[in-house]
Structure 1
């Protein structure tokens, strides 16, 4: 099925109009923006796919990789001290852009392509 739920929502003005405000409320309620994190900072780094995406991010934009590490360290310190950033330092919805997801999508498609080629079966000629 080539049409995903994401594509369906993005192509429908009605669904986008309903779900966009809900997503903003959810992001505010989740609280990660209050400790200076972006959405992509929450992605677990344990998988090989994300590790490769992070490596490519480091090559493509070293400042973005450094900023990610800094945000995570600040968030850990705030968590340990049970504190939040001052309101003027919270991440806004305009700042919360997906910076790692394009790399993850690229690596996932390469892994899928490699898997498809690795499973090619060659039949013997008769």
Structure 2
């Protein structure tokens, strides 16, 4: 269900990571979600069953923080104003918190599907 990614390829090659890091930071800043105090995983749509299950697995504090960020961003959007620069999400704070849970749930579903289709062969 998750999108294909080149991240493992890039992370294995330090020279490529150092080359693409400034571009990635520029793109994330240009997207504008950090100016609203959001993190990248806050932008993942909740309409997917896997994402809904991942949200249920979030620790209570992380879930509260997520809801707070979303409500604050919605208020900024309604008033057509950005947060003060001191409240913007910094790149070191923008770490994935939902992506690992989604990957874990997808791996569990894949394993469950493999176990459901398991056939027993009896040797004589």
Moved over 6 A (4+): 123-126
Which residue of the other structure, out of 61, 66, 88, is the alignment partner of 1:90? 88
Counterpart-to-counterpart distance in 1, 2:93 and 2:108: 29
* CA deviation profile, 1:22-80 (whole Å, cap 9, x unmatched): 110001000000001000100111111101111011xxx21110000010011111111
Given the alignment of the two structures, is residue 65 of structure 1 paired with residue 63 of structure 2, yes or no? yes
Residue number in structure 2 paired with 1:76: 74
Give structure 1 stretches of 5+ with no counterpart: none
After TM superposition, give the deviation of residue 119 of structure 1 in Å: 2.6
TM-score, length basis structure 1:
0.88
TM-score by length of 2: 0.89
**Separation in 2, partners of 1:5, 1:79:** 32
User: Structure 2 CA distance, aligned partners of 1:46 and 1:12?
Assistant: 35
**How far apart, CA to CA, are the structure 2 residues paired with 1:122 and 1:81?**
62
Are 1:5 and 2:6 an aligned pair?
yes
3-state secondary structure, aligned to 1:71: helix
How many aligned positions are there?
120
**SS of match in other structure, 2:94:** coil
Task: Report the aligned-residue RMSD.
Answer: 1.7
